[in-house]
Amino acid sequence: MIHRFRGSAVLRVVTLALAVGMLFSLTACGSNTTEQSATTTETPVETSTIILASTTSTQDSGLFDVLIPAFEKAYPQYKVEVIAKGTGEALELGKNKDADVLLVHAKAKEEEFVGAGYGTKRTDVMYNDFIIVGPASDPAGIKGMTSAAEAFKKIKAAEATFVSRGDDSGTHTKEMAIWKEAGESTPTASWYQSAGKGMGDVLTMASEQGAYTLADRATYLAMKDNLKLEILVEGDKSLFNQYGVIPVAGAANPEGAQAFADWIVSDEGQSVIASYGVDTYGQQLFIPNAP
């Protein structure tokens, strides 16, 4: 009797242990199934595209390589598609509503754009400056001059090769203003080449031909290791280069356009701009100055 009782007790303990083990196993399976189900049914973020029309200088300088990912991280519901043109062409894209938001650098034209009802508002974003670059040989003898207009006069007098953007960009607009300040009509002689190209292409052309050109500092610094060009004239207050952001009135994606415009002038957006170029070039390529 004693032996039969003990055998029965052992059987009950074994049976209980098996039951408990099965219970834990089922619980674990249920937990894994729930976790897998949760992972499988997680809904991805739906995105809409923002068309940003901007300048070749912001593109060629590499700024968008850090600015756009930072914005998309802050606003994962949006993807930004950049169309890099001269400021004049970017403004035309806005007029035709082929872009949602603009980041350009010809303030007078931008204010006209908004005043005509094509944009909702223009806001300062950042600035840098223009520089006159040319070959180390400096055939026109302009190195160290502090007046851009006087430097242009000497280039014309020497008939030294000059490559112009010639594309109604912000840089081209600034060049035309400098010729006007110099009291000179826009040159038409053979030494003056109107390229009709972006900043990067024009710098490459000037380098290959040993020519002068007007450039924004950011693009020059980003490319200078591959250029045979030096900064010859800088510091003239007329070479100030301001950028502004404008959401397009009646844009296809007005919410996205406004989100980008608000972000780029926010502390976060301005911080990204402020830090760009410091590690690589030892200086800021753009100075944030949103109000």
The full set of domain ranges for the chain reads: 48-127+243-288, 128-239
Q: What is the pLDDT of residues 108-135, one digit of tens each?
A: 999 999 999 999 999 999 999 999 999 9
- Both tokens of 4, joined, read 């039969």
Mean pLDDT estimate for the chain: 88
Examine the pLDDT at 28 and tell me if it is beyond 90. no
Q: What is the mean pLDDT of residues 265-290?
A: 96
Residues counted in the chain: 291
Q: How confident is the model at residue 59 (pLDDT cuts 50, 70, 90)?
A: very high
Closest C-alpha to 194, from 86, 34, 100, 288: 86
For the domain made up of 48-127+243-288, give the CATH fold. D-Maltodextrin-Binding Protein; domain 2 (3.40.190)
Q: What is the mean pLDDT of residues 79-93?
A: 96
Comparing 95 with 9, which gets the higher pLDDT?
95
Looking at residue 42, what is its pLDDT? 55
Q: What is the pLDDT of residues 246-259, one digit of tens each?
A: 999 999 999 999 99
Looking at residue 221, what is its pLDDT? 95
On whether the CB atoms of residues 83 and 225 are closer than 8 A, the answer is no
Looking at residue 43, what is its pLDDT? 61
Q: What is the pTM of this model?
A: 0.81
Q: What is the mean pLDDT of residues 52-78?
A: 96
Q: What is the pLDDT of residues 202-217, one digit of tens each?
A: 999 999 999 999 999 9
The reply to whether 48-127+243-288 and 128-239 are identical in fold is yes
Q: Show Cβ contacts of residue 273 under 8 Å, excluding neighbours closer than 6 positions.
A: 63, 67, 125, 126, 264, 286, 287, 288
Question: Helix 64-74 and helix 267-275: axis angle, to 10°?
Answer: 150
Looking at residue 15, what is its pLDDT? 41
Largest CA distance in the chain: 126
For residue 76, how far is the Cα from the chain centroid? Answer: 17
For the domain made up of 128-239, give the CATH fold. D-Maltodextrin-Binding Protein; domain 2 (3.40.190)
Q: What is the mean pLDDT of residues 172-194?
A: 94
